[in-house]
């Protein structure tokens, strides 16, 4: 608390004083009043500034557990490829391990595609903020200043799929016309076919992980390339080893976006 004490000393000016002396005293009083006004203003501003500085100083606090170390993701992008993909990531130091599970399911009434797979990513974070043992406090909730950032990751992946579909088969046979001549005709039969595809791949990724909303939510984006080896067998006739096909063997780009929660 700040107190300002005003002392006023009343003196009667002798009648013999000149006008110049009175003006000099008035100027002195004006200067004193101005000085007091400045002190009052500073008395109001400085405590507020000091409180603001203390509030900012409390923005960074040392903590033993500086961030969330577990992350759960789903990938909205994979829905467009007839897949449901979810992952769990755990941090240890400046590295993390991400385990991904995939479920493949598509049925349009005549054709079916189903299967599953898994993927492992070993992430190495490159951001310097990873080593800062601090949290930012916003609205009394801790927000990690590190634990996210740029990373690169080697990965391996495996997928197994079954393709079930109907196909019209044309079967030739020899027929005889009314005048006794023979000719080749065809009959059609609907047959169910099964194709099986397994693929294994490995490669390198570059990504960026970012937490928001007080560190509770997280987004994860990565891209890179992979070497893919596909294998196909079954009684079907569809070529699935073409470029971008499920049984393709070769080099392909890899890109994905995940959203999730930290805990």
Q: Which runs of consecutive H residues, i.e. helices, occur in 83-174?
A: none
> Is there a single domain that holds both residue 41 and residue 124?
no
The answer to whether residue 8 is domain-embedded is no
> Is there a single domain that holds both residue 149 and residue 32?
no
pLDDT for the residue 165:
85
pLDDT for the residue 258:
97
Ramachandran quadrant class, 186 (left: phi over 0; alpha: psi -120 to 50; beta: rest): beta
The answer to whether residue 249 is domain-embedded is yes
Domain that holds residue 160: 63-166+193-262
Mean pLDDT by 10 residues, the chain (263 residues): 42 50 57 58 44 42 60 93 94 92 89 94 78 46 60 96 83 80 79 89 96 87 96 81 89 96 92
The answer to whether residue 91 is domain-embedded is yes
Backbone angles phi, psi at 237, to 5 degrees: -120, 5
Residues 6+ apart with CB under 8 A from 56: none
> Is there a single domain that holds both residue 48 and residue 75?
no
Which of 30, 57, 84 lies at the terminal end of a domain, its last residue? 57
> Is there a single domain that holds both residue 160 and residue 31?
no
> Is there a single domain that holds both residue 98 and residue 129?
yes
pLDDT for the residue 174:
83
> Is there a single domain that holds both residue 141 and residue 207?
yes
Q: Which runs of consecutive H residues, i.e. helices, occur in the chain?
A: 19-57
The answer to whether residue 178 is domain-embedded is no
pLDDT for the residue 109:
78
pLDDT for the residue 107:
87
> Is there a single domain that holds both residue 43 and residue 102?
no
Instruction: Report d(CA 66, CA 69) in Å as an integer.
Output: 9
The answer to whether residue 1 is domain-embedded is no
> Is there a single domain that holds both residue 203 and residue 217?
yes
The answer to whether residue 6 is domain-embedded is no
The answer to whether residue 257 is domain-embedded is yes
Instruction: Report d(CA 132, CA 51) in Å as an integer.
Output: 26
CATH number of the CATH domain containing 78: 2.40.160
> Is there a single domain that holds both residue 150 and residue 246?
yes
> Is there a single domain that holds both residue 147 and residue 225?
yes
Distances (CA, A) of 182 to 126, 177, 199: 78, 6, 50
Q: Structurally, how many domains does the chain consist of? A: 2
Instruction: Report d(CA 91, CA 97) in Å as an integer.
Output: 7
């Amino acid at each position: 608390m700040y107190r300002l004490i005003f002392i006023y000393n009343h003196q009667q000016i002798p009648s013999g004083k000149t006008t110049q002396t009175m003006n000099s005293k008035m100027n002195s009083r004006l200067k004193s009043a101005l000085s007091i006004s400045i002190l009052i203003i500073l008395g109001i501003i400085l405590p507020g500034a000091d409180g603001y500085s203390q509030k900012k100083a409390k923005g960074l606090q040392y903590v033993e557990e500086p961030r969330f170390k577990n992350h759960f993701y789903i990938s909205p992008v994979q829905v467009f490829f007839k897949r449901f993909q979810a992952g769990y990531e755990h941090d240890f130091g400046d590295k993390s391990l991400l385990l991904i599970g995939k479920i493949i399911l598509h049925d349009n009434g005549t054709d079916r595609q189903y299967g599953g797979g898994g993927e492992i990513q070993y992430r190495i974070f490159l951001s310097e903020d990873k080593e800062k043992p601090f949290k930012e406090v916003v609205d009394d909730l801790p927000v990690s200043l590190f634990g996210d950032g740029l990373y690169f990751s080697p990965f391996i992946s495996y997928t197994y799929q079954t393709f079930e579909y109907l196909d019209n088969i044309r079967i030739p046979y020899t027929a005889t016309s009314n005048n006794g001549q023979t000719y080749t005709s065809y009959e059609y039969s609907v047959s169910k076919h099964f194709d099986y595809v397994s693929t294994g791949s490995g490669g390198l990724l570059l990504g960026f992980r970012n937490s928001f909303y007080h560190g509770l939510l997280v987004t994860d984006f990565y891209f890179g390339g992979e070497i893919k080896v596909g294998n196909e067998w079954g009684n079907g006739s569809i070529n699935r080893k073409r470029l971008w096909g499920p049984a393709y063997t070769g080099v392909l780009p890899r890109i994905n976006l995940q959203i999730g929660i930290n805990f």
